[in-house]
Amino acid sequence: MATLPTSAEKIIAQFGPSLNFPPPEGYPGRDEPDEVIKTHCCFCGMQCGIKLCVKDNRIVGFEPWEEFPFNEGRLCPKGVQRYLQNNHPDRLLHPLERSEGEGFRQTTWDQAMERTVSEIRRIQNQHGPNAFAMLSGVSLTNEKSYLVGKFARVALKTANLDYNGRLCMVSAGAGNKKAFGLDRASNNYSDLEKAEVIMICGTNVSETFPTLTHWIWQARDNGGKLIVVDPRLTPIARTADLHLAIRPGRDSALYGAILHQLIKHDWLDHDFIDHHTSGFEKAAEAVAPYDLAWAETTTGIPAAKILQAAEMWGQAATSFLLHARGIEHHSKGVENVSACINLVLATGRIGRPYCGYATITGQGNGQGGREHGHKCDQLPGNRDIENPEHRKYISGVWGIDEKQMPGKGLTAYEIVEAIHRGEIKGLLSICFNPLVSLPNSTMVREALDKLEHYVAIDFFLNETARHADIILPGSLHEEEEGTVTTAEGRVVRIRKAVSPPGDARTDTSILLELADRLGAGKHFSYATSEEIFNELRVASQGGTADYFGITYQKIEDNMGVFWPCPSEDHPGTPRLWEDKKFCTPDGRAHFQPVAYRDPGEMTDPEYPVILTTGRVVSQYLSGSQTRRIGKLVNQYPEPLLEIHPVMAAKFGIKDRELVRVSTRRGAAEFPAQIVETIREDTVFVPYHWPGRKSVNQLTSGHLDPVSKIPEFKVCACRLEPLGRQAPDAGETQAYASV
Amino acid sequence: MNAFRTDQEFFLDPQRCIGCHACEMACAECETNGQTSMIHVDYVDRFSTVQTSVQVCMHCEDPVCAKVCPAVAIEKDEFGVVHSARTDRCVACSNCVMACPFGVPQKIEPMQLMMKCNMCYDRTSAGKKPMCATVCPSGALTYTSREEMARKRPNSSPVNQFQFGQQIVKTKVNIMMPKGATKIVVDSE
């Protein structure tokens, strides 16, 4: 029974989202803080250093942390405003239980825990251990990610644990493992500084990783050229030397065509290909048909520009390729990643200064959180849950019989589908808001309604958690010690600045008590986060993501340590592959043959327009935090339908007119924003909003066959102007849409 | 160094502005401003481009805002910082608002006071950087030495002369222009 206990409006009135603004005179104590804590932003994978000002167990402001080497004090608007999530009026302060007709009522920790454990036991006894699933997220620290992985397998005893990184980095991870046998950015960002050519593929850097913009400009100041591949003219694309406005869903065609040109003009590093790679011939064969005429027709990019990109990339002495969700959120996300890696390998530009390649990891701990057993198929150290040796090693670290270790479970979207089919009956979630962030949200809502028991750990009552039976108030980023691993692969320290308010507890203490009540207490006796980290170090030892040589002290002494770091006297590894010894079985980097195929859903007469989705600079992911911060909401208050004037004229759509956008999954209404900065055949809607304002009512559930990432970046839609201007954004209140 | 650093200058490079508004939000955090930002970011023409422009007080050598102030409320200090109107003198006449060639000062209601950027005097007078130029993620706003800027951005030249008709306005704040540029002609008639 997980339908809403009362109307969404009543729940919102009590739990928000409501908007937090600082008082005009600032919070008391801002100028005389008790402490100034050096930590990191709670949002994206850049993990910018920031100092939080603390007064009376309250974050009252921030100061830039200019000494931290990646961002040197730089912040985006989310970073500047992040402190406003602390002491927010919407903060969950007590355990809650659902109350029919009323909403939620306060309960005690003992009752909430007891009910949770008895429901877990009931469901697992009746339907088997895997009928209770867990969904987690990588805003959690390394310690908590590791703990969740162990908790699900050892205490909850379910195979069905997955995480919101499934919507983020899994295509890149799979592509990197295929090519290099390891999943991490190959270089740190200082290798951007003197790269002659930087190609950024499907990444709106200036809105999603704003502080990375500075590093790209440093290269440009040194004469470097910038190529941007994006269907939209984003702020980083605006000044690029070459902007390739690709048709959504055609990425592997473009990179295949560029490889074709590199081969045709012999812009190749034969020595590197011969001595350090395998599979080149098959990769070359796969792109043999992809001449410029074909590529122009397929990608919608003029042939001359594709050739120019190939020339710039092919003739450079140094280069850096970056990609992100724009090429990864596809039913062929892994193939797109492989097609990009092929360009790097063909020119041998990796493992040397200013020669680099990296996916830009999206979430705060998207890197570390995908390494230590948070995924349905993974054990710590980026080990494989189906590999007998790996199972044996981790079972030894955890002190369990290997036979008790569950096998591979379902991925995030598949877990929700299994709930919808009635196969999974119970759910524990932490740090994940799938009702906003998963595609095809009508199906997600129906699934939540079918759950027999749902318990959510969170600090705000997010849209998904409104469906819960029990809510356990957990902790914010600034309320626990820990570490995260940045997009560069740098392990950094997260500092506890304040304690959880009211009856809220740390996420760690909640998981430890649940484990104890589930009878697994002896495996979960940690006094501190550092103790968890020290066990993680051992668990990761010998895996590809080896943290064994990293200690809290070493991180502090060096403002971060890059893994792999196999021993305490090892300095860490900012740049991978300097020795050209890859982590594949044959020690070589592997080309992958990538034959182009169409996206999961193509336009047709019924749904003639391409719909793509993405983010805006002032919001973060499902908005669970940022839709509660007043100025961030006001900066971009509602999702707009970006549409080219040519397409708008075709459908008779006027600026700010409400447009009904329909796909095979559903329909939603958005105000039109007519701009020349998008392809004529494509419309764009950002996805941070809930309910009727969620574009994920429309996106498709097509998954990549390998990574199981959903295809957020392309589907087919229909547009109908509604003949009336959209109301003022203030009236719509999209941040709290039902 | 806990004093104003005379070797540090403000450099504004509009092509790098990504329109993120971090500068505005950071500026507003200063308690002196009471959550009102003294720096402004706007789209130039969102229909045709995502280009934004960022406007900060240019701190003129011979500030027109001070010249037209009937109450002598606006002062330039020994470091060239043109301060916000003194609250005990400002009569909210808006002369400065209309006279400024860059459109910087604002009359803030309900206080009925002119307010503008004072180059984060509380920070810069203690040897720190202004808040906007500290947080700017793209380098559109930078506070550093002229030598460091020349080293880091060899293809750009700082310019602090603006021609408005027959009048030349010189400013403390520099705009980064293509290498070799010496002045910006706003209106040559």
Q: What is the mean pLDDT of residues A373-393?
A: 97
- CA A51/CA B29 separation, integer angstroms: 14
Residues 629-668 of A with CB under 8 A from B: 631, 635, 645
Four-residue CA torsion sign, A598, A602, A608, A609: negative
Residue B111, pLDDT score: 77
Q: What is the mean pLDDT of residues A480-497?
A: 98
- Enumerate the residues of chain A whose CB falls inside 8 A of the CB of residue B152: 218, 221
The rounded percent of chain A whose pLDDT value lies above 70 is 100
| pLDDT bracket for residue A2 (50, 70, 90) | low
Which numeric CATH code is attached to A170-359? 3.40.228.10
Q: What is the mean pLDDT of residues A715-730?
A: 97
Interface test with B, best of A46, A200, A206 (most B CBs within 10 A): A206
Residue B35, pLDDT score: 85
Q: What is the mean pLDDT of residues B114-133?
A: 93
Mean pLDDT of chain B: 93
Burial class (CB in 10 A: 0-12, 13-18, 19+), A582: buried
Q: What is the mean pLDDT of residues B36-59?
A: 95
* Residue pLDDT, tens place only, A672-703: 999 999 999 999 999 999 999 999 999 999 99
Q: Is the pLDDT of residue A555 over 90?
A: yes
Four-residue CA torsion sign, A688, A691, A693, A696: positive
Instruction: Select from B19, B29, B136 the Cβ nearest to the Cβ of A235.
Output: B19
Going from the C-alpha of A263 to that of each of A281, A284, A432, the distances in angstroms are 11, 8, 44
| A129 touching B (Cβ < 8 Å) | no
Do the Cβ atoms of B31 and A73 come within 8 Å? Answer: no
Residue B187, pLDDT score: 77
**Contacts of A581 by beta carbon, 8 Å cutoff, 6+ apart:** A587
Residue A194, pLDDT score: 96
Residue of A16, A19, A13, A90 lying closest to A630 (CA atoms): A19
- Looking at domain A8-85, which CATH architecture does it have? 2-Layer Sandwich (3.30)
Q: Is the pLDDT of residue A541 over 50?
A: yes
Residue A1, pLDDT score: 45
Q: What is the mean pLDDT of residues B47-75?
A: 96
- Enumerate the residues of chain B whose CB falls inside 8 A of the CB of residue A25: 31, 34
Instruction: Map residue B178 onto helix, strand or coil.
Output: strand
Instruction: Select from B16, B25, B48 the Cβ nearest to the Cβ of A80.
Output: B25
Which numeric CATH code is attached to B8-187? 3.30.70.20
* Residue pLDDT, tens place only, A426-458: 999 999 999 999 999 999 999 999 999 999 999
Q: Is the pLDDT of residue B100 over 80?
A: yes
In contact, A310 and A267? CB cutoff 8 Å:
yes
Do the Cβ atoms of B47 and A618 come within 8 Å? Answer: no
* Residue pLDDT, tens place only, A107-142: 999 999 999 999 999 999 999 999 999 999 999 999
Predicted ipTM?
0.96
| A73 touching B (Cβ < 8 Å) | yes
- CA A204/CA A200 separation, integer angstroms: 9
Q: Is the pLDDT of residue B109 over 90?
A: no
* Residue pLDDT, tens place only, A29-88: 998 999 999 999 999 999 999 999 999 999 999 999 999 999 999 999 999 999 999 989
Q: What is the mean pLDDT of residues A636-656?
A: 98
The residue ranges of DSSP E strands in A218-354, in sequence order, are: 225-229, 242-244, 277-278, 319-323
Residues 608-627 of A with CB under 8 A from B: 617-618
- CA A66/CA A75 separation, integer angstroms: 10
| B42 touching A (Cβ < 8 Å) | no
Residue whose token pair is 């009026």: A89
Going from the C-alpha of A79 to that of each of A493, A499, B7, the distances in angstroms are 17, 21, 29
Do the Cβ atoms of A24 and B34 come within 8 Å? Answer: yes
- CA B104/CA B89 separation, integer angstroms: 19
Residue B188, pLDDT score: 66
Residue A87, pLDDT score: 87
Interface test with B, best of A20, A36, A65, A74 (most B CBs within 10 A): A74
| pLDDT bracket for residue B31 (50, 70, 90) | confident
Residue of A336, A419, A442, A415 lying closest to A700 (CA atoms): A442
Do the Cβ atoms of B22 and A26 come within 8 Å? Answer: no
Residue B1, pLDDT score: 61
Q: Is the pLDDT of residue B2 over 90?
A: no
Residue A96, pLDDT score: 98
| B31 touching A (Cβ < 8 Å) | yes
Which numeric CATH code is attached to A609-736? 2.40.40.20
Domain assignments of chain B as residue spans, ordered by start: 8-187
Residue A24, pLDDT score: 86
* Residue pLDDT, tens place only, A565-602: 999 999 999 999 999 999 999 999 999 999 999 999 99
Pairing of strands A609-614, A657-662: unpaired
Residues 112-151 of B with CB under 8 A from A: 129, 131, 134-139
- CA A462/CA B58 separation, integer angstroms: 44
Domain assignments of chain A as residue spans, ordered by start: 8-85, 96-168+365-562, 170-359, 609-736
Residue of A632, A667, A624 lying closest to A15 (CA atoms): A624
Residue B189, pLDDT score: 61
The residue ranges of DSSP E strands in B16-105, in sequence order, are: 40-43, 52-55
Residue B79, pLDDT score: 94
- Looking at domain A96-168+365-562, which CATH architecture does it have? 3-Layer(aba) Sandwich (3.40)
Q: What is the mean pLDDT of residues A202-224?
A: 97
Q: Is the pLDDT of residue A468 over 60?
A: yes
Residue B110, pLDDT score: 75
- Enumerate the residues of chain B whose CB falls inside 8 A of the CB of residue A26: 29, 31
| pLDDT bracket for residue B107 (50, 70, 90) | confident
Going from the C-alpha of A71 to that of each of A138, A309, A520, B13, B149, the distances in angstroms are 21, 30, 42, 18, 18
How far off is chain A from B22, nearest CA to CA, in Å? 4
Burial class (CB in 10 A: 0-12, 13-18, 19+), A415: buried
Give the helix/strand (H/E) hosting A216. helix A213-221
Residue A644, pLDDT score: 98
Q: What is the mean pLDDT of residues A630-657?
A: 98
* Residue pLDDT, tens place only, A321-352: 999 999 999 999 999 999 999 999 999 999 99
* Residue pLDDT, tens place only, A158-192: 999 999 999 999 999 999 999 999 999 999 999 99
Q: Is the pLDDT of residue A9 over 70?
A: yes
- CA B40/CA A287 separation, integer angstroms: 49
